[in-house]
Amino acid sequence: MLESLSSSLQNVFRSLRGYGKLNEKNVKDALREVRMALLEADVHFRVAKDFTKQVRDRCLGQDVLESVTPGQQIVKRVHEEMTELFGGAHTDFNLEDRPAGVMLLGLHGSGKTTTAGKLAHYWMSSGKSVVLAACDIRRPAAVEQLSTLAKQEGAACVAPREGDTVPDVAARARREASEQQADIVIYDTGGRFQIDEDLVHELEEIREAVQPADTVLVLDAAIGQESVEVARRFHEAVGLTGLILTKLDGDARGGAALSVHSMTGCPILMTGTGERPEDLEPFYPERMASRILGMGDVVSLVEKA
Amino acid sequence: MASWREALRKTRRTVRRGLGTLFGGGRPSEEAVEELEENLLAADLPARLAMELVETAEASGGDGLREGIERRLIEELGPAAPVSWAEAPRPMTVLLVGANGSGKTTTAAKLARRAAGNGRKPLLCAADTFRAAGTEQLALWAERVGCDVVRGQRGSDAAAVAYDAQQAALARGADTLLVDTAGRMHTREPLMRELGKISRALEKGREHAPEETWIVLDASIGQNAVAQAKFFHQAVPLTGAILTKLDGSAKGGAVFAVRRELGIPLLYAGLGEGEEDLAPFDPESFVRSIFEEDDEGV
Ligand SMILES: Nc1nc2c(ncn2[C@@H]2O[C@H](COP(=O)(O)OP(=O)(O)OP(=O)(O)O)[C@@H](O)[C@H]2O)c(=O)[nH]1
Ligand SMILES: Nc1nc2c(ncn2[C@@H]2O[C@H](COP(=O)(O)OP(=O)(O)OP(=O)(O)O)[C@@H](O)[C@H]2O)c(=O)[nH]1
Ligand SMILES: [Mg+2]
Ligand SMILES: [Mg+2]
């Protein structure tokens, strides 16, 4: 994942090797290429612009220009800046309540239902008990999908009954979870576009009914420039506590990952890296930045300069 | 049904914002040019194409600029390529492929409805035997649009299900078989190979099948669309593309890259979740609606 960004950036750093001593012009040239690489990786254009500007400012300092290993200094600056973009430190779910509530929401087909199953798997394998709440009553077979996943994981699943509204289902799931002394309730909601007021209203109703500690946006990592807008609108409409990025296994770019935190302030909690229940990982900003920059490789490359 | 204009209103807003100044005539200011660039990028136009258009804008003046950019973009998309259900071969098999969650199942149902509306007898095949409730979803859709469906068991061999469906189509006199497959990442080789297997199973059942293999692309994906489409094209030669979720997305610009790199025609646009929300892809309206003056004066 993110290979194409990674390889473009490594090319840029490799070219810096040819410069010998750095000056304002070759830093600028290199950063123009960095900006193009970021744009081609779907990093939001504003983030790409700010990012390259920050790095430039950091790189044009005397300590970098006069360093004996200026290329390495630049990589280091880019790495620091990128870690910041990803959110700095790792953030976890808020699981203090009992039952703790986690509401999942997002665009159509982003991976909410699959992620609900994965989270159940994740928490249940550390000994917690989980209840899944099927709060998508619109899409054909959405409830069957979640209940199949629940059965697979051995989690309880609360499905809508005849005449139930979505908040009814959510409230019943919460009640049953309390009675069973379950640790966590995961609410799977229907796919929606942020601009659809009815559906945003429905999310608000669910939230009022069950007051989940976490309201998490599930975002497909392959989403283009709109990722930021989507996250921002959901954040404005319902107040997000975090994000889960899905489908990072197949996405060679994933600029969304680099854009959403800085534009919304919401932490990335986890990433989905496949279709199976175990394909979910906690997100660590620093590790992700190192991975993209292929730190080991780049540093050794630049050292040869 | 949602109209093109309505569905793309958001896109138009994003892109047009900076163009008032530019299109007004006279030499564009530096800020106007920068704004043009940002707006084109925001619409997911490939970065290189956006830069190229920006350079043209800088070089020329404001006069005729809008027409120039429009013409250029329409050219990029190639001529309209409507599906002619009346003239398409009978029987015909259409294989639908694409990434996870792109809209294949929903589109399969929408296509069945269109085929039936054009005097054909469609049959749906639920060959997504992988995802939980993948076949149930299509079965429910089939009921809704009044079409028969052949479905496999979860975990069964998708190619075998497709083969059976083809036999069923022949036996029942259905002239249009629409095969819905499981979503897959283009980077997963075994899953991509499975597509080839499905395609060959169809051919084994009837020579020349599948006549069409369409990729279903989500309009909100960015530059990854090209990589996706290329890998699918290698696995099963694509004959067309369908762009879904154009109603909610502010973008759609990734189609330019797909069209340029693969040369396959854009057939339909998905404009909503309902069974009727599928419109023939019309390059001119698509581009025009990007630049059109808004009634609300936005
Ligand atoms: N490769 C891969 N596929 C994923 C991942 N997460 C989800 N998917 C797939 O994406 C598709 C859509 O997932 P769903 O969980 O149904 O998405 P959803 O957001 O619930 O969809 P709607 O309820 O229709 O809006 C399915 O084919 C999943 O298997 C992931 O991390 N990697
Ligand atoms: N607004 C809108 N939603 C759409 C459109 N097409 C599909 N959807 C929605 O997108 C989500 C995913 O659609 P599916 O048809 O299940 O996608 P899929 O490609 O079959 O998904 P997998 O089989 O899991 O890979 C559903 O919630 C659909 O209702 C469209 O054109 N507009
Ligand atoms: Mg779902
Ligand atoms: Mg499907």
Contact B18, B45 (CB under 8 A): no
Q: Decide: B185 in ligand 1 pocket, CB within 6 A.
A: yes
- Relative to the CA of B272, which ligand 2 atom is closest? 32
CB atoms within 10 A of CB B199: 23
A277 CB near ligand 1 (under 6 Å): no
3-state per-residue secondary structure call for B92-124: EEEEEECCCCCCHHHHHHHHHHHHHHCCCCEEE
% of chain A exceeding 90 in pLDDT: 50
pLDDT digits (tens, 9 = 90+) for A101-145: 999 999 999 999 999 999 999 999 999 999 999 999 988 999 999
Residues of chain A contacting B187 with CB distance shorter than 8 Å: 249-250, 252
> Which residue in A40, A169, A261 sits closest to A32, CA to CA?
A40
Ligand 2 pocket test: pick from A108, A113, A143, A146 the residue with the most ligand atoms within 8 Å of its Cβ.
A108
- Chain B CB contacts of A247 under 8 Å are 99-100, 185
The answer to whether the Cβ–Cβ distance between B133 and A109 falls below 8 Å is: no
Q: Is the distance from the beta carbon of residue B98 to the nearest atom of ligand 2 less than 6 Å?
A: yes
Residues A132 and B132: their CA atoms lie apart, in Å, by 15
Closest residue on chain A to B245 (Cα): A108
Contact of A275 with chain B, judged by CB distance below 8 Å, is answered with yes
pLDDT digit string, tens, across residues B125-165:
999 999 999 999 999 999 999 999 999 989 999 999 999 99
User: Is B222 in Cβ contact with A224 (below 8 Å)?
Assistant: yes
Residues of chain B with pLDDT under 70: 1-27, 61-64, 248-251, 289-298
Angstrom CA distances, A47 to A37, A263, B86, B173, stand at 13, 8, 49, 56
Give the rounded distance of the alpha carbon of B164 from its chain centre. 27
Does the Cβ of B128 fall within 6 Å of ligand 2?
A: yes
Residue ID of nearest Cα to ligand 2 atom 21: B101
Of residues A231, A225, A252, the one with CA closest to residue A48? A225
CA A118 – CA A299 distance, rounded (Å): 36
A24 within ligand 1 shell (Cβ under 6 A): no
Separation of alpha carbons B288 and B275, rounded Å? 26
- CATH 3.40.50.300 in chain B, residues? 92-281
Nearest Cα to Cα of residue A209 among A170, A173, A240, A244: A170
Nearest CA to ligand 1 atom 22: A109
Mutation site for B-interface testing, chosen from A2, A3, A34, A42 by largest number of B Cβ within 10 Å: A42
Query: What fold, for B4-80?
Result: Four Helix Bundle (Hemerythrin (Met), subunit A) (1.20.120)
Ion ligand 3: residues, Cβ under 5 Å: A 112-113, 142
Q: How far apart are CA B210 and CA B202, in angstroms?
A: 6
Distance from Cα B69 to the centre of ligand 1, integer Å: 37
SS3 of B11, please? Answer: helix
Ligand 1 centroid to residue B172 C-alpha, Å = 34
Q: Cβ(B112)–Cβ(B174) under 8 Å?
A: no
DSSP chain A: --HHHHHHHHHHHHHHHTTSS--HHHHHHHHHHHHHHHHHTT--HHHHHHHHHHHHHHHTSHHHHTSS-HHHHHHHHHHHHHHHHTTSS-------SSSEEEEEE-STTSSHHHHHHHHHHHHHTTT--EEEEEE--SSTTHHHHHHHHHHHHT-EEE---TT--HHHHHHHHHHHHHHTT-SEEEEEE----TT-HHHHHHHHHHHHHH--SEEEEEEETTB-TTHHHHHHHHHHHH--SEEEEE-TTT-S--HHHHHHHHHH-PPEEEEE-SSSTT-EEE--HHHHHHHHHTHHHHHHHHHT-
Instruction: Note if the bond before B91 is cis, omega within 30 degrees.
Output: yes
Instruction: Please tell me the predicted confidence (pLDDT) of residue A295.
Output: 61
Q: What is the pLDDT of residue A305?
A: 42
Residue-level pLDDT at A32: 83
Instruction: Please tell me if the CB atom of residue B247 comes closer than 6 angstroms to any atom of ligand 2.
Output: yes
| Contacts for B20 with CB less than 8 Å, ≥ 6 apart | none
CA–CA separation, B220 and B44 (whole Å):
9
Is residue B131 within 8 Å of residue A254, measured between CB atoms?
A: no
Q: How far is CA A35 from the centre of its chain?
A: 21
pLDDT above 70 covers a percentage of chain A that reads: 91
Report the complex ipTM: 0.86
Atom 30 of ligand 2 has which residue's CA nearest to it?
Answer: B245
- What does the mean pLDDT of chain A come to? 87
* Nearest-angstrom CA–CA distance, B244 and B271: 7
Residue among A251, A253, A276 with most chain B CBs within 10 A, to mutate: A251
Peptide bond into A282 cis (omega under 30): no
A230-267 pLDDT, tens digit per residue, is 898 899 888 999 999 999 887 656 788 889 998 889 99
For residue B179, list its beta bridge partners. Answer: B95, B125
Section A94-100 average pLDDT: 94
Contact call for residues A90 and A61 (beta carbons, < 8 A):
no
More confident residue, A214 or B10: A214
**Is CATH 3.30.70.580 the classification given to domain B92-281?**
no
Question: To which H or E segment does residue B279 belong?
Answer: strand B278-280
Q: Which atom of ligand 2 is nearest to the CA of B108?
A: 15
Tell me which residue has its CA closest to atom 1 in ligand 1: A274
Region at B32 (left for phi over 0; alpha for psi -120 to 50; beta for the rest): alpha
Q: Do the chains contact at A193 and B38, CB–CB below 8 Å?
A: no
Separation CA A55–CA A30 (nearest Å): 11
pLDDT above 50 for A293: yes
Determine how β-strand B266-270 pairs with β-strand B278-280.
antiparallel
- pLDDT value at position B8? 63
Distances from the Cα of B47 to the Cαs of B56, B125, B184, in angstroms? 14, 39, 26
- Triad A167, A169, A171: Cα angle to 5°: 65
A170: which 2 tokens?
A: 């959510």
Measured in angstroms, the CA of B175 and the nearest CA of chain A are apart by: 26
Please tell me the number of Cα atoms within 13 Å of A27 on its side-chain side: 24
pLDDT of residue B10: 53
Label the pairing between strands A184-189 and A130-135: parallel
* Ligand 2 pocket mutation pick from B97, B105, B215 by most atoms within 8 angstroms of CB: B105
pLDDT digit string (tens) for A145-180? Answer: 999 999 999 999 999 999 999 999 999 999 999 999
Side-chain-side CA neighbours of A217 within 13 Å: the count stands at: 34
Q: What is the mean pLDDT of residues A84-93?
A: 92
Task: Specify whether the CB–CB gap between B127 and B161 falls below 8 A.
Answer: yes
Query: Hey, are the CB atoms on B133 and A145 less than 8 Å from each other?
Result: yes
